[in-house]
Amino acid sequence: MSLDKNLPEKLSIITSKAAISTFSHIGKRDKISADKAAVDTMRNELNKLNIDGKIVIGEGELDEAPMLYIGEKVGNIGPSLDIAVDPVEGTNFVANNLPGSLSVIAVAEKGNLFNAPETYMEKIAVNHEIPNDAIDLDYSIEKNLSNLSDIKNVNISDLTVCLLDRPRHNKIVDELKRLKANIKFITDGDIAGALYVTNKKYNVDMYFGIGGGPEGVLAACALDSYNCYFQGRFLFKKPQDKNRAKKMGIVNLYKKYEINEIVKGESIFCATGITDGDLVNGVKLKDNMFITQTLVTQKNISNNIIINKLPST
């Protein structure tokens, strides 16, 4: 069974409406209210679809999130789908009117999206031009960059690595500086950061570091459509995190996951800009119409930017 050919457009409208719902919250220093507005809108719109949907990546578990929680059922009667959501990727960006916030959804057939726990994940991603065996989480940073430089026929000093600007990455940053690699820091926006490897125009050769596990699954959906390489490994620091993972069916807590283990078969990824960013423009209001840009990716189908115009009233 293939996904409904009209589903990408329908999903782009849902992420667009979720993004629009945060418009009045941009720059108001209230990330909780912005996130709630997007969550409420996205849930309401998903429930209008003729699907039998299950949230596998959401705002948390039932005891943590009243809406769009992991395991929540959405939609009406229709094909069974796994759904991953991040109603506001970059809540701080919205709260402080900074570039790069997105509203994100990914879907696949039932059983084809990894049910990721709310924990950290080590991640590494490179462009589709790089052989899969050239990059690995278990390689040293120097080996990964040496392999990249050999394949690209450039010096390590010509390579750029993107990672979150966090204290947990201090040792990585020190090593990158020692190797004289270029660093592109991001303050939030883990999904967008990984997607920078998809196109040379972003000037990022490798995405690396520790970010959210759920965001890793969402990024993997888009990267899979671009035939990029992605590898992830969950980090469980607390006993309750390990117990939760085991309940989700994760037996080997230290396993490295390849992209085809995270997303199987066909998937659709939609990311609508809330504030302007490198991937897409943010929400604009003109002549009583909201204008949105949405990056839509789907395996074996040309990736598109969909522009939606929706009335402001």
CATH number, position 195: 3.40.190.90
Please, are residues 164 and 211 in contact by the beta-carbon 8 Å criterion? yes
pLDDT of residue 30: 97
Name the strand (E) or helix (H) holding 77. Answer: none
In a domain, 142, yes or no: yes
pLDDT of residue 118: 83
Which two tokens mark 133?
């065996």
Q: Are residues 251 and 278 in the same domain?
A: no
Q: Look at residues 242, 262, 282 and tell me which one is the last residue of a structural domain.
A: 262
pLDDT digits (tens, 9 = 90+) for 266-285: 999 999 999 999 999 999 99
C-alpha 116/C-alpha 248 separation (Å) is: 8
pLDDT of residue 142: 98
Q: Are residues 231 and 285 in the same domain?
A: no
pLDDT of residue 63: 66
pLDDT digits (tens, 9 = 90+) for 71-115: 999 999 899 999 999 999 999 999 999 999 999 999 999 999 998
Alpha helices in the chain (DSSP H): 7-21, 31-46, 91-95, 141-152, 170-178, 190-195, 213-225, 239-247, 259-262
Q: How many CB atoms lie within 10 A of CB 42?
A: 29
Q: Are residues 141 and 39 in the same domain?
A: no
- Per the structure, the count of domains in the chain is 2
Q: Look at residues 262, 279, 301 and tell me which one is the last residue of a structural domain.
A: 262
Tell me the CATH number at 32. 3.30.540.10
What three-state secondary structure class fits 186? strand
In a domain, 242, yes or no: yes
Q: Are residues 131 and 243 in the same domain?
A: yes
In a domain, 2, yes or no: no
Question: 175: domain range?
Answer: 120-262
pLDDT of residue 201: 95
Residues of the chain with pLDDT under 70: 1, 62-63, 302
